[in-house]
Structure 1
Amino acid sequence: MNTIGYFEIQSSNPAREIKFYEKVFGWKFIKEEYLPIEYYRIETNGINGGLLQRPASIPAPESGANAYVCSIQVENFDQTSQLIVQNGGQVVLPKFAIPGQCWQGYFVDLDRNTFGILK
C-alpha cells in the first residue's frame, strides 16, 4: 500500500499518442467504453496505466513539468481523501468506480500538482 499503483497520460490527440507508445514501447491500449470520457487502458510489462483525452489546455512550455499523473494505491480511500483535504489538498475529481477494478479519485497538492488515489 501507499505506492504507485497506476499512471495516466493526458493527451490532446489520443490516437497520435497511442501510435507513439505502441511503436516505442510495445504497450497495448484497450478502449474503455463504460467511462464518461474517452479513455484507454494501457497494458505494459510493469505498472499498468491509462490514456485519456486531455480535459484542459496543454500547459505552456514555461509552465514547468507536463507529466504523467500517478495514482497511489491506498488501504482506505475515504480516510486518505479526508487526510488530503485536511492537509490543504483539493479534490479535483471525486471518488468514482472503475467497475470490477477499484475506486479512483483525483486531487491537487499545495503546488497544484495532480495525483490520484485508488483502492
Structure 2
Amino acid sequence: MPRPVHFEVHATDPERAITFYATVFEWCFERWGDRPYWLISTGQGPGIDGGLVPREGPPPEDDAPVNAFAVTLAVDDVDLTTRHVEQAGGTVVMPRSAIPGVGWLAYCKDTEGNVFGVLQSDQDAA
C-alpha cells in the first residue's frame, strides 16, 4: 500500500512562507540545488519531511473550496496553534470541530493561500 513520503508547499513568496512555517511549527528550511527549492525538516518522530517551491501560476482564490490534497499536522493544542497561525499572518478557514473518538480538527490557510489541517488528539472529543 503506497504511503506519503514527501510533501510540497507552493508559495508566491517563498521567504514569507518560510517565515510563516518556521514561526508557527518551528520547521527548518535548507536551500537545495541550483533551482529555487528548499528542503523542509519537520522534526523528529513519526511524520514526513517536504519541500518548498515557488508557485507556478495564480494562487488559490480566497473563496474557492478546498482544492488540494491537504496535509494535516498533529499538534498538542489546536486553539493555541490557530492563534499562532493568525499571529503569523495566516487565517483559520474552518474553526475547531470535534471528530468523535479522534480529536479536534481545524483547517487554516498559510500566507500563500494553501490550506492545511491541524489535529489535536483527544479520544473524548464529541
- Distance in 2 between residues matched to 1:69 and 1:47, nearest whole Å: 14
Question: Map of 1:1-119 to 2, 5 A cutoff?
Answer: 2-35=2-35, 38-45=36-43, 46-65=47-66, 67=68
TM-score, structure 2 normalization: 0.48
Shift of 1:13: 0.4
Matching residue of 2:89: none
Amino acid at match of 1:23: T
Bigger Cα displacement from structure 2, 55-64 vs 40-49: 55-64
The SS at the match of 1:61 is coil
Amino acid at match of 2:30: I
The SS at the match of 1:23 is helix
What stretches of structure 2 of length at least 5 have no aligned partner? 72-126
Shift of 1:65: 1.8
Matching residue of 1:73: none
State the aligned residue count.
Answer: 68
Two-structure CA RMSD over aligned residues (Å): 2.1
Shift of 1:34: 3.2
Shift of 1:23: 1.0
**Which of structure 1's runs of 4+ aligned residues deviate more than 6 A?**
none
The SS at the match of 2:52 is strand
Higher strand share: 1
Amino acid at match of 1:9: V
